[in-house]
Structure 1
């Protein structure tokens, strides 16, 4: 995975994820329990039913992260002129950020009464897609180890009309 559930917890998204990932038929998972589940920590101090609900919510988050990975790989597989070997390993930090932005967008698919121009979830998603498009087109590098071709070193190509004044046409004017 390009972004892990623990990285989502590190990004302070526990409450938001609990609200959007808990299945509608269940009560929203408590923040402290969901953070423990996201981080893979011990949950034995919590009631078994609550832990089961938290694990269902975690499955929703993992599905969104997996879908985000698919979106990223879809763009990077079409990289011009050199495609990446997928999945990326090691994962460049920026790719993890893009995965988080895309997963959040996928998890918020049912939100209402939001303005897309000012919604940070939509803004981040659109930025991720824009960067992925630029990366696909070879206009954005993923770091120092990115296999972008080096800039060419030849003479610049010039497209212009024939010269009007040459040594031959100026011969009659002397030097």
Structure 2
């Protein structure tokens, strides 16, 4: 009974912390200090944070090399990547791969995280970014989580002026995408490779 109480207490603490994070972000009280960041460094930090969980299921990260720079609050983007990777691990079968890639585009940088999990039905692809939303209501008990991770990700990416979305094929896997702006130049306009 003590173990069950401890598990439930941990879940409640995570829920309260997630709600507080989301409220701070959406109210504008969480000021994100943005600087020029190396996308590869952000990915490496996030992967390091979830590597032990991935190892338990023998999940391998395939990281495509990149030298892209982004204008971002590093800790917030590491949190976003950690949430997305945590979900990818949670819903992927053992002995599978999660692929991370970054593509510099004309006016932004596109991040992609692809898993080989169970996938998301088309009618849930937008809803999963809402508060307390999960593909399957039983997931909160069997997989853990508060149903706020993707809402927090969306709020962080919105505050960066980016977009976040998902594409999925049930029983094949899902890809989560998000964009971030390029670093600022001295005149505060995004740098481009013209």
TM-score between both structures, scaled by the size of structure 1: 0.32
TM-score between both structures, scaled by the size of structure 2: 0.30
Larger strand percent: 2
Larger Rg: 1
Larger helix percent: 1
